[in-house]
Amino acid sequence: MLSSKRITANAACAAGQATPLVRAPIRPLPLSNVQQQAQTLLVPRLSHAQAIGQRVRAAAVADGASAGAAAAVSSPVASSDAAGLQELDKDSFQPFIDAAGDKLVVVDFFTDWCGPCKLIYPQLVTLSAELAPAAVIVKFNCNQNNKELAKALGIKVAPTFHLYKGGQKVADMTGAKVDKLRELIIKHTASDDGQQN
């Protein structure tokens, strides 16, 4: 019985006696605020400075610039993003630590896919501004290019923070706990103030 009704309805539509059923387009459900934030954190984006750096490097190579100039543009000692934290790599890590001398250097070992790393990054930028010039916070991406050094330094969890002074590691901590990191930094900068007085 059901099939005969279908045939009749289809025949009526074909004859122009009835209007065919139109399926409404399926609209996706709106994302919650948390889902939107997570989605934006997972999509890697270049900062304005990084995009310009890529264009400059591409232009130097395309123009056939001298090997020395191309090398200077493509392999900086360290890079920094628009927000201000300087990023070290396997080649610039040890020279930066050595050049800092007795200044406290806090290294944020992170990965591109680490959600907590991305969530605390703005707080690290603020903390860096608060603690300057007594301490400097830099970041180190434990990506494929820097994996060997990260492994040699014992990085197993992201984020991990190492504190260096005088070229030596003086403390470390893991986890996205900015308040605990602040206390650790203040402890090691306060010990300098006590020694100087």
Which residues participate in catalysis according to the annotation? 114, 117
Cα–Cα distance for residue pair 39/36, rounded to 1 Å: 5
Contact 86, 97 (CB under 8 A): no
The secondary structure of 97-155 as a DSSP string is: HHHHTTSEEEEEEE-TT-HHHHHHHHHHHHHHHHHTTTEEEEEEE-SGGGHHHHHHTT-
